[in-house]
Structure 1
């Protein structure tokens, strides 16, 4: 069996995290004097220590130009946003660098919370990256978020169950309708993220985009953008969600399922299909190595591109990831840019993918021999990110997502009337006539 990079990286990074306060303290040493090097504070998204390691390496490589202090953000995207908005709205100059979910780049940039990257910096910092992640960091044709990591969901399936149903999930034209029919026929389950949270919006957005539609028309119009779910693509998305939610293929916990609940269901005896991020394969291998998951389950896992809504239209795999923004009120903008360039270099992004199971935004990472050994689906991940469907790049995304979550939940309640109801509710929320 191949050496499990996920387990190895997780153990190594767990040690790094355990000593994180000591790491931060060592980076701060010697900065008490006013004439000493500046200390850059980087607000990171929680991980197993990969960000701490990158910060430590870059502080050392700077040859005394700067030190780095790490501050960890909360574990959920909503809590991360709340904390950063409060601090940045108050003009907090201690925020030199911040890792942020891709959906918040437009909001933070529009509010003046982020320092824009210059054209020269943009060219330098994004060289070699896939176009789709770069777009998530843009606002009004200017880069505000340098892609730190990227992501795209795949279709996961149990090979034995698919064979028994006589279907090929890896077929280029495999659809949600075929998947539902096969799962019902085998008395198995389809695991999705349908808790009332951002992951559910990710699912709905992907279905609408894959059907040729969009959640909003005229996104650039801001609050005057037109909700567009009451269209053929939106109606088809509602049909898929509602039919699955009311079918025997829906897991009992579907309306409360996040990524990990979906993974647990998929790995159980009732699992057959799942849409989820690439980390799940490494996580399954780690569980088998630790003895908490039978190896035969891991051997039975197959993967394919995100399923189509229509057989004649390519799917738009959900696009995720995180971007690096420089705080608008930082006292050290030049040093902050230098830190971004260091921690975001391609070799570090590739190593982060090995250690944290978080895909790299760089195209070349997927040709790295270690990546190809660890990820047999490296080409599929790269392709899915490249063709990934983003969520609307709008400063009002939180309102958009909240309106969808409120009107499409629980999944079993979704009918052909839901898209029209959502459009009206979303328009009212954007106009300030109603509150979430």
Structure 2
């Protein structure tokens, strides 16, 4: 229906009140629908169009529309890693100077603000920000002999979980979240997958480094440990959740996104007890190298305006409306999608919905976190890393970083296909 609407009529008539199509991902759709209604005006109305659930499929659908110069793609919810690609292709309108100043003015958390710039311009507005923290059971930490009020390393977690018959939960299926883990491990060791990304295909491949080998050592250590979950090679954000409670197990140390708190809270009285929930705790993302501050992953959604929209001023006004503090607070309270603005964390409704120390941890992790490579060729970069680092059971510190660096370089230069 959405495709036909775009091809036939642009979902709005040439006369009367125009309709702005807002393509959204499936997270928080009920709240987003409310925002669309609230931000519609006498000049325009905003209509929600649903994208696929997977980030790669979202990119594909939007890219096809924009490459065809589709004028019905007015607003879009973008995974941060696609902003650079779309901006570089000329598919996004550059935000006005006052919006750019607002985004970089200090209230937008640094990790989120980094995701919307390209070539010194601002091409989207952060709507909500996501990050990963370490979720665990207090009882498991005690059994493992770990004091998680202090920084903890991946090595300590893996060893502690094995000692206490617990597990370590990660996302290691062959998909984007596995690259999120690899990137966070690399950055935590002071490295990165690629640098000089504005050089495009000539970006410098950095993954074959000491940081890359440290990353590979951690992945292989977990894969070989009794603390590895049995579905490690196909694990995702959802598959790791059941290991925290149930079946008399001591629980897990799990890195996962901000939705986890609301997820377990909603299960109290159903699949878990209040005592189980009271045993849940959280800490900053683990360190790759002892004594070196971790770089928690950065995710979320940025709102971009399509370059071919017939109503650019209306679309930019709508983008500002759906990213206000009030909009971000509603998404956080109702859907567990955390604000990208620091001041929104003081909203009374949000403070009442989450423990203060957890909100502080979310905000700090987003502000100090590490985005994935900002590149117009990010889809290639991600695919090449997945191709050589999966499955985690075959990762070899002495071989994988070098092989993946060569393959990634060949892919970027057009010498190899994914």
| TM-score (normalised: structure 1) | 0.90
Which residue of the partner structure matches residue 81 of structure 1? Answer: 59
Match of 1:68 among 39, 46, 56: 46
Native 8 Å contact 2:181 2:297 kept in 1: yes
Native 8 Å contact 1:216 1:228 kept in 2: yes
CA-CA distance at 1:135 after TM superposition:
1.2
Deviations along 1:41-80, one digit per CA (max 9) or x if unpaired, are 1111113411100000111xx2x11111111000000110
Which residue of the partner structure matches residue 259 of structure 1? Answer: 237
Deviations along 1:5-49, one digit per CA (max 9) or x if unpaired, are xxxxxxxxxxxxxxxx9xxxxxxxx975x4312111111111341
Q: 3-state DSSP class of the match of 1:288?
A: coil
Which residue of the partner structure matches residue 375 of structure 1? Answer: 354
Match of 1:424 among 376, 382, 406: 406
Question: 1 CA distance for matches of 2:103 and 2:33?
Answer: 20
Tell whether 2:211 aligns with 1:233: yes
Native 8 Å contact 1:162 1:272 kept in 2: no
Native 8 Å contact 2:140 2:250 kept in 1: no
Native 8 Å contact 1:125 1:341 kept in 2: no
Which residue of the partner structure matches residue 24 of structure 1? Answer: none
RMSD: 1.8
Native 8 Å contact 1:103 1:393 kept in 2: yes
Question: 2 CA distance for matches of 1:31 and 1:272?
Answer: 51
Report the CA distance shift for 1:224/1:68 in structure 2 as closer, same or farther (over 3 A). same
Tell whether 2:24 aligns with 1:44: yes
CA-CA distance at 1:267 after TM superposition:
3.0
CA-CA distance at 1:124 after TM superposition:
4.1
Which residue of the partner structure matches residue 395 of structure 2? Answer: 414
| TM-score (normalised: structure 2) | 0.93
Q: For 1:251-290, what aligned pairs fall within 5 Å after superposition? A: 251-268=229-246, 269=249, 271-289=251-269
Match of 1:342 among 298, 314, 321: 321
Q: 3-state DSSP class of the match of 2:134?
A: strand
In structure 1, stretches of 5+ residues that fail to align are 1-20, 22-29
Tell whether 2:279 aligns with 1:300: yes
CA-CA distance at 1:294 after TM superposition:
2.5
Which residue of the partner structure matches residue 130 of structure 1? Answer: 109
Which residue of the partner structure matches residue 129 of structure 2? Answer: 150
Native 8 Å contact 1:190 1:251 kept in 2: yes
Match of 2:305 among 311, 314, 326: 326
Tell whether 2:125 aligns with 1:141: no
Match of 2:35 among 47, 54, 70: 54
Question: 1 CA distance for matches of 2:206 and 2:35?
Answer: 42
Q: 3-state DSSP class of the match of 1:372?
A: helix
In structure 2, stretches of 5+ residues that fail to align are 3-10
